[in-house]
Amino acid sequence: MFECIKNIKDSDDYKIVYFDDNGTIESFENRVCSDSNNKYAYFKTSDVSILLDGTRKIDDFHVIYKNDTVSYYIVQKDKNIINITQCTKKLETVSNPTIIIDIIDTGFTFQLAKDISVDITLLAKLNQNFYITLQDEPDFIIDSINLNYEKLISGEKYTINYIHKYDDISMYITEEILETYSIEDKRLL
């Protein structure tokens, strides 16, 4: 996710991203096109370079506007979820969870509760996606991580390394494999 430059005087290295009313990216330009009817915003070249050099497909991203920051963002489209708010569950801190998730400075730790009543051999064959979003905004997906439950069978904590881009985040799931999930932010902010 890339935020637009609000003041182009702050940066001399930028691209002008043109997009339509639906947020579909139309073009990247070095100057404002006076004959274009599309909207545009300024983004750092270093941010959009993955789209410019073909590392990532432009069609996988779109531009959105966030009212709370009064800013445009280029975000990745989630092709698998049509309306994420109708098929997700926000993870929160609960007592007696089946799985404990901690947000730490270096990523996320996962640990199964000691006394779970789950078929371990079946669980070891499953994976689950966890969606990281801005705080309480399930439609604003920052990233997703995939957990292979086989890593948790030993009972030890399993860490997925992750560089946090935002302080205020939430985590959502689209399917409940386990009975209860508990998450706690243990970062030193």
- pLDDT, tens digit (0-9, with 9 covering 90-100), for 128-153: 999 999 998 888 888 999 999 999 98
What is the Cα Rg of the chain in Å?
Answer: 20
- Burial class of residue 55, CB neighbours in 10 A (0-12, 13-18, 19+): exposed
Q: Is 2 helix (H, G, I), strand (E, B) or coil?
A: strand
Q: How far is CA 115 from CA 84, 119, 155, 157, in A?
A: 32, 12, 10, 15
Sheet containing strand 2-3, edge to edge, reads 2-3, 71-76, 61-66
pTM comes to 0.56
Length of the chain: 189
| Residues 142, 150 contacting (CB under 8 angstroms) | no
Domain positions in the chain are: 2-76, 84-185
pLDDT tens digit sequence for 17-62: 999 988 899 999 988 888 888 899 999 999 999 898 888 888 889 9
**If we measure between CA atoms, which residue out of 94, 83, 70, 57 comes closest to residue 141?**
83
